[in-house]
Structure 1
Amino acid sequence: MEGWECGNDTHNWNFPASGCPEGSQLNIRFQAPSCWDGVHLDSVDHRSHMAYPTDGACPDTHPVAVPMLEFKMAFPVDGDMSDVRLASGEGYSWHYDFINAWDPRTL
């Protein structure tokens, strides 16, 4: 996960406290982990079967590289961010899910 960003303020779990510079936009950027343990399709915490690469390589515990999914969405918001909220609450409540529905032969 990369988090919320605007202007030069990046990697925020919540909306940037300093607000966004006039004329900029608020972005949310997520990068999904792209290293799989090669065994489990899911885990109890829905996380530990996947890992992020380090220096471009998958760790020994998660040796199978899979495509990295990245979502980046822009919101037309700048200036004072004190009243900005999501329907789910604070900025850190944002999440995404990915469900692969491709036909395996087509994929």
Structure 2
Amino acid sequence: MSSACTDPNLDSPNHKDHVAYGSDKGCPAGHPVRIPALTFDIQYGVKGTAAGYYLSSDLVGKSASSMHGDAFVSWDVTTMNKRTKNCVLQRRTCDNNGYLK
């Protein structure tokens, strides 16, 4: 499983070069900070066949399985650190209260 990693500056002039892909073994030396991944599982109720259904984020491939989402993190610092330690860094899936599923 690959993961996204960033350099310590967290941005670059073109907003792309600061990010690199890592692996299960970690991040590349030039991009040592792992970026937590969030997964949104959204289901749309539709009738009929999948033909003709696609998300606006995939006009070319016309897939109904990919979209972009933004997260604005404004958690209490203690709570966020607990989730990072117990869920993100250990690559575990946790519920909204930080408990393992």
* Bigger proportion of residues as helix: 2
TM-score normalised over the length of structure 2? 0.47
Higher strand residue share: 1
What is the TM-score when the length of structure 1 is the normalising length?
Answer: 0.45
